[in-house]
Each structure stands twice: as C-alpha cells, then as structure tokens.
A = this chain, B = another copy of it.
Amino acid sequence: MVRWQPGAADRLRIAALDLFEEHGYDQTTVAGIADRAGVTERTFYRHFPDKREVLFAGSEQLAERASAAVSAAPQGAAPSLLVDAALAGLAESFPDERRPFSRRRQARLDSEPALRERELLKLSTLKGTLVGALAARGASAPAATMTAEAVLSVFHVAFLRWIEEDQQRSMAELQQEALAELRAALGGAGTSAEEGR
C-alpha cells in the first residue's frame, strides 16, 4: 500500500476546478479540495501558497517560454520579429489538448473577482518579464513596453477566440490573425515588407 499517489498537484487543480464549478469559489473550502484530491489540507498548502494559486500554478512557465523565445532572437532583430518570437513562445503553452481545461478555467476567472485579481497580477508580471527580454534584445525602454503591450493585446484577443465553442484553429494561427488585425488597425508602413517575406 503506497502512502501517496503521485501527481497530487494536478489532482488538486482538477478537484478545485470541479468544486468551483459546482459550488462557486467562496463556497468551496480548501479542505474540500484536498479531500477530493485524497490529501490533507496541509498538503494543499505545500503545493500552492494560497487558495487562488491553485488555478495559476504554471504561469511562470508561460513567461519563461515567451522570454526564452525572445532571447533566442538575434541581437538587434527587427521589432516585428521579436513580436513573432514572443507570440510563438506563448503559443507553446496552449496546445489543443489544453483547450477544454483553459475554457473551464477562464469561465471561473471571469466569474470570481478574487481570481480575476490574481490573473491581472500574473499578466502584469508576464508583461514585466517580456519588457525585460525585449530590452535585452536591444529595444529601448518605451519601445519594449509598447511592444510587450502589443504582444499581450494580440495574445489576449487570440486566446479569447481560442476558447470559443467549436473553435478549431490553433493558438498560433489565431495569434497570426489577431496580429494582422492589429497591424491593419494601426496602419502605416512597415507591414507590407513583412507580408512579402
């Protein structure tokens, strides 16, 4: 008889999402989540610093991948290439298999202010990481900030479409679409050259 089954963190994540859907975030206790996952409350806190975090663990990976992709770009690369790289890095965290889970998770984030709050903090941190990576690739501080904001804006629009019902297209595809829309909305030069590439 084993003392503990592996994958406690994953079981806790699933149990939490299930219970949040069934009874709402407030009405779900950490003890209840732990119970369903077959561990004690104390073990929950070994894996997650607080109740909200159970739906956010892994968000550091998102930032790491995005900044790694940017860092892999050649020094002094054109801003548009850095945008492409950052988006590609982000897309890695959203394979098609993850879609159902992301959909359910997002529905919870939207309906619970406490979770929305945490989401904003994570996005803010992600933005900071991106700004740092972009600056390291030669972007000026204001350019890095604006570029990061553009990346997150595109990412956000694409993500919302990605989790729509019946959506079949991949995150990468939807990001390309949203980026094209943003470029079109902004107008100006610098775009046509890219398209001919």
Contact = CB atoms under 8 A, between A and B. Distances in A.
Interface in A87-137: 113, 116-118, 120-121, 124
A142 interface: yes
A118 B124 CA distance: 12
A185 interface: yes
Q: A interface, by DSSP: helix, strand, loop or mixed?
A: helix
A116 B116 CA distance: 13
A179 to B, nearest CB: 14
Contacts of A120: 117, 120-121, 124
A25 to B, nearest CB: 15
Interface in A182-197: 185, 188
A188 B118 CA distance: 37
Contacts of A116: 121, 124
B124 A185 contact: no
Interface of A: 113, 116-118, 120-121, 124, 142, 149, 185, 188
13 contacts: A113-B121, A116-B121, A116-B124, A117-B117, A117-B118, A117-B120, A117-B121, A120-B120, A120-B121, A120-B124, A142-B185, A149-B149, A188-B188
